[in-house]
Structure 1
Amino acid sequence: MLNAERQPRFNVQPNLVNPNADESAQRLMSYLCDMYGTRILTGQQIGVVSTPELEILHEVTGKYPAVYGFDFMNYSPSRTERGAECFDTDIAIDWWQSGGIVTFCWHWNAPKDLIDLPPDRTWGSGFYTKATTFDVQKAMADEDSEDYKLLIRDIDAISIQLQRLQDAGVPVLWRPLHEASGGWFWWGAKGADPCIRLWKLMYERMTNRHKLNHLIWVWNGQHADWYPGDEYVDIIGEDIYPPDRNYESQLDRFQTALSYTAMNKIIALSENGPIPDPDLMLRDQALWAWNCTWYGTFVYDTVDGRRVYAEKYTELDQLIKFYHHPYSVTKDELPDLQNYPLRD
């Protein structure tokens, strides 16, 4: 089954939406296109405060994931001005240099108007709609307004971190404005139109103003009405949190993601709770390009002061199966991506 000929929908050309994409991004995209429909890259999200997930996974499976997920959250200006610190950029550079693949999301703390009321509307939750009165529709409607200029300020702040990654030769699977259609994040709270315009603003500013040519743009809006257009999207991601120990392939969501565009785009499981069973993915041809298990209790519990693997979402035997399955790619199986051949 692993050697079966790929279906046409998995034949994706490595043509990035940024015509000036650098070689690092082109080489990574070439690899992703070569692998898509034949293997899944194992992935894990980093913890925001502590980062024991990878070592725990290695302890119980003997393997590290191929893809490591990071978050620019604590680089948001409305967090740094309140004392937040972040080292994800540094860790990501080390991860790439050690042979792994980097993906970044951004829990973008609202630029202003944080409600800051405990217990769940504090400034630390300022990316949630419930924790801010910042109005993205109002901001996007007036380019001369303070709110619009603050959006620009924040995009520029994250661009500094992305520039550091570009300078270090690190291509990034870049997944901003995620889960917008759910409405629980402020960038999706006012409907599709202002969010799509914000996506395009971010793309244009990062690509044309900041010349960030190492980005592979992963759109994760989760609804066709929120799709900004093929010319702004390299890869489509779906975030899926099924019930505990549900290892189904998530075929319905895979097919939904395919329906967002008439073009062949790579489809990734950009966040997950339980990990789908690779045999079921193969059976259903729900062949996600990579997965990225969320952090914290999705991976570990603290027992008697010691962090141990948590089986609440994915049982240990199932995790080991996934990391050792011939369909799965772990970090040790990745090629030299810095010199991966470019596809025509």
Structure 2
Amino acid sequence: MLKEKASQYIVEPKLVNPHADAGALRLMTYLCSIYGSRVLTGQQIGVESAPELDVLYEVTGKYPAVYGLDFMNYSPSRTERGAQCSDTDIAIDWWRSGGIVTFCWHWNAPKDLIDLPPDKTWGSGFYTKATTFDLAQAMDHPESEEYQLLLRDMDAIALQLKRLQAAGVPVLWRPLHEAAGGWFWWGARGADPYIRLWKLMFDRMTNLHKLNNLIWVWNGQHSDWYPGDEYVDIIGEDLYPSARDYSSQKKHFQRAGSYSGQNKIIALSENGVLPDPDSMLKDQALWAWNCTWYGTFVYKTEEDGRRTYSSAYTGREHLIKYYNHPLTITKDELPNLRDENV
């Protein structure tokens, strides 16, 4: 007999966009159905190279259920400097092969990049330290160039999201992340302009661009930055504990649950170390999915150029345990989320 779900994990499969399409609703319904009983494995892609999946498969024999991608190099202030990106195409292929897609956006500031090496170059233009772009000034003056450039940039990303929508891909959409930390320009001027920017993006993408394939994942990291339940489908927390700290991160899970007055799905939207599934069960800190960050959190480069698994953050045996645990779901265990008849 199945154990009854704890009340905190009972989430109604509705989306804040009343016009959400069938694919987004189907994915949300699935997430709600497993929340509190299973956890989806996930992995972020590297920006310039992506050996993470191959390395994970070599060690575990499995692929993650959720693939994290980034619209960073579609930002206009990067493309005008020669940046190129294929993450939209990768996402379409991943979805068609049976996986789930999540996107963040390291939004390069629309203008006012400092562009001083080594750590304030245009390539770091999403960091507060690398731009003088003032979000509060922009949001206070809708007639300004700065405000219009915000709209231009959102429209550029909307084009990519429309491509995904046309291909039938629902997106766990996680923009404007980690704002409360202040290290990204969208969080550098405090909570008020940030919340206004979130609502502006939600309105523009939902009502102007008719993007109905989005599940809105808010990842502001502090209750003061929460834009409101009517703008958020899922709450994410990004956590980077010390190397090989496999704790469930229960306090952070509970804190994330306190941001809303409703039951919202809580996800570990970025992680360095993988938490222990047994601890997650014991502590009832059952994140909906995890998304391990890329690069050195997963692999190291040998002298001969080969990429091999790195146990620096998550030990090899713990990784194998995580990917083979009854609590977790890997890509091969996902149902067919693409067929409306399933």
Judge same fold: TM > 0.5, yes or no: yes
- Within 5 Å, give how 1:322-337 maps onto structure 2: 322-337=322-337
Alpha-carbon distance between aligned partners in 1 of 2:237 and 2:3, rounded to the nearest angstrom: 25
Q: Note if contact 2:226-2:259 (Cα within 8 Å) is conserved in structure 1.
A: yes
Cα separation, 2, equivalents of 1:102 and 1:143 = 33
Is residue 2:171 matched to residue 1:156? Answer: no
1: CA distance, partners of 2:89 / 2:215: 19
Contact 2:199 2:227 (C-alpha < 8 Å) held by counterparts: yes
1:269: which partner in 2? 268
8 Å contact kept, 2:22–2:340: no
What secondary structure, in the 3-state scheme, does the structure 1 residue paired with 2:205 have?
helix
2:19 aligns with 20
- 2-structure distance, mates of 1:190, 1:9: 33
| 2:309 pairs with 1:309 | yes
Q: Matched residue pairs, number?
A: 341
Distance in 2 (CA, whole Å) between partners of 1:5 and 1:20 is: 31
SS in 2 for 1:19: coil
Deviation string 1:120-144 (CA, Å, 9 cap, x unpaired) is 0000000000000000000000100
Shift of 1:310: 0.4
Aligned to 2:203: 204
Q: SS state of the match for residue 339, structure 1?
A: coil
Q: For residues 189-237 of structure 1, give each alpha carbon's deviation from its aligned partner in whole angstroms, at most 9, with x where no partner exists.
A: 0000000000000000000000000000000000000000000000000
**SS at 1:124 equivalent:** helix
Q: 2:280 matched to 1:278?
A: no
User: Which residue of structure 1 lines up, in the alignment, with residue 94 of structure 2?
Assistant: 95
In the alignment, the residues of structure 2 paired with residue 155 and residue 109 of structure 1 have an alpha-carbon distance, to the nearest angstrom, of 11
Letter in 1 for 2:153: D
Paired AA for residue 46 in structure 2: G
In the alignment, which residue of structure 1 is the partner of 2:288? Answer: 289
Instruction: Render the CA deviation track for 1:228-269: whole Å, top value 9, x for unaligned.
Output: 000000000000000000000000000000100110000000
Q: How far apart, in 2, do the equivalents of 1:23 and 1:3 lie?
A: 28
Deviation per CA, 1:2-61, whole angstroms, max 9, x where unpaired?
953210010000110000000000000000000000000000000000001001100110
Counterpart position of 1:133: 132
**Native 8 Å contact 2:248 2:276 kept in 1:** yes
AA paired with 2:334?
L
1:341, distance to aligned residue in structure 2 (A): 7.0
CA distance in 1, matches of 2:242, 2:271: 11
Inter-partner Cα distance in structure 1 for 2:154 and 2:8: 34
Deviation at 1:338, TM superposition (A): 1.4
Alpha-carbon distance in 2 for matches of 1:338, 1:22: 12
CA distance in 2, matches of 1:184, 1:22: 34
Aligned to 2:338: 338
Cα separation, 2, equivalents of 1:129 and 1:135: 10
- The amino acid of 1:83's aligned partner reads G
Q: Deviations over 1:277-310 (max 9, x none)?
A: 0000000000000000000000000012111000
2:321 corresponds to which residue?
Answer: 321
Structure 1 unaligned regions, length at least 5: none
Q: Work out the CA distance in 1 between the residues paired with 2:2 and 2:173.
A: 30
The superposition leaves residues 294-336 of structure 1 with CA deviations (integer Å, 9 ceiling, x where unpaired) of: 0000000001211100000000000000000000000000000
AA aligned opposite 2:179? A
Q: What is the TM-score of this pair, normalised by structure 2?
A: 0.99
Q: Which residue matches 2:121? A: 122
In the other structure, the counterpart of 1:109 is 108
Q: CA RMSD in A?
A: 1.0
1:192 aligns with: 191
Q: Secondary structure at the match of 2:116?
A: coil
- Asked if the contact 2:45–2:294 (Cα under 8 Å) also holds between the matched residues in 1, the reply is yes
* C-alpha separation in 2, matches of 1:313 and 1:280: 17
- The one-letter code matched in structure 1 to 2:325 is H
Other structure's SS at 2:47 match: coil
Cross-structure match for 2:76? 77
CA contact 1:27–1:339 (8 Å) conserved in 2: no
Q: 1:150-188 deviations in whole A, cap 9, x for unaligned?
A: 000000000000000000000000000000000000000
Identify unmatched segments of 5+ residues in structure 2: none
